[in-house]
Amino acid sequence: MNFDPIDRDSAVPRFEQIANALRDAITSGQLAAGQRLPTETKLAEQFGVTRMTVRRATRELRYEGLLIPASGRGMAVRPGVSEATPQLPDSPAAAAAEAPLIAQAEDSRTRLHALARDVSEWGALVSDPAMAANLLRTLADIGLAQAAEAASLRTALAEAKARAAAAERASQTAGETLAALRTDWQRQRAEARSDLDAVRATHAEQLAHVQRSADDRVTCLTEALNAEREMLRALIRQNPAGGSGLGNTRAWEGDGADAT
């Protein structure tokens, strides 16, 4: 695989930038377990540095237990490294909670690899059986401590996942409740609008009925008044010399005519 040149303006030392790039490639699986790294010359060309800088970066990764000497020359990824790298969960909340725990577990795993490498190197130098036994007991104690730490990390990871799952369920429940409230509010608003339209229609109909009744009443009264006037005129014509009473009748007729 190919690597981008390092950032020469960065405050991070060049060998650390190279080590970080190689470490990311190993833990992400881009460099598979057992895969041989490109030669120092090729890595120096890709990163734009000297071979000594590349050698210092690979030495750091070897101390971390990520690299081992390859057959012949060069370095290779330690078997089982990339496969054992924990993967972050899909949930953002769970990822935020588990990231520090996963980093701690990765650090413990790296230290175990480095310790196992050191033990294998020391074993060839130890000739005293008592010293070898003491070294093995020390390694066993460290292994037990690391196992307890791993169990604690697994428990913390399970709790973090449970909290993340509970938060997601609560968020989903809140969303469903909000959707139900919104639906109910929309239904009530539609019903209120329908009731208002019905009330307006009823009032309009009642007002029209009252208006028609008033118009009919006025028409009836007008027709009755006109009929009464015709009767009075007929009486006047039948009694042309009716005296004071006739005069009063004529005056009333005149008043009525004026009112009309």
CA angle 126, 131, 134 (to 5 degrees): 130
pLDDT of 156: 84
Q: What is the mean pLDDT of residues 113-132?
A: 55
pLDDT of 158: 86
Average pLDDT of the chain is 78
Q: What is the mean pLDDT of residues 168-188?
A: 89
pLDDT of 171: 87
pLDDT of 242: 54
Which residue from 119, 117, 115 is spatially nearest to 146, judged by alpha carbons? 115
CA dihedral 170, 174, 177, 178 (to 10 degrees): -170
Residue whose pair of structure tokens reads 């970080």 in the numeric block? 20
Name residues whose C-beta falls within 8 Å of residue 103's C-beta, 6 or more positions apart in sequence. Answer: none
Share of the chain above pLDDT 90, in %: 29
Which residue from 42, 60, 63, 61 is spatially nearest to 51, judged by alpha carbons? 42
Distance of CA 113 to the CA centre of its chain: 39
Residue 120 main-chain phi, psi, to 5 deg: -65, -35
> Confidence band (pLDDT; 50, 70, 90) for 114?
low
| CATH class of residue range 1-85 | mainly alpha
Name residues whose C-beta falls within 8 Å of residue 111's C-beta, 6 or more positions apart in sequence. Answer: 65, 146
> Confidence band (pLDDT; 50, 70, 90) for 45?
very high
> Confidence band (pLDDT; 50, 70, 90) for 39?
very high
> Left, alpha or beta for 29 (phi > 0: left; psi -120 to 50: alpha)?
left
**Element holding 76 (H helix, E strand):** strand 75-77
Which residue from 49, 62, 69, 79 is spatially nearest to 22, judged by alpha carbons? 62
Does this model's pTM top 0.85? My answer is no
Domain range annotation of the chain: 1-85
**75 strand-pairing partners:** 69
- Residue 44: is its pLDDT beyond 70? yes
Over residues 69-98, the pLDDT tens digits come to 988 888 999 987 655 444 444 455 555 555
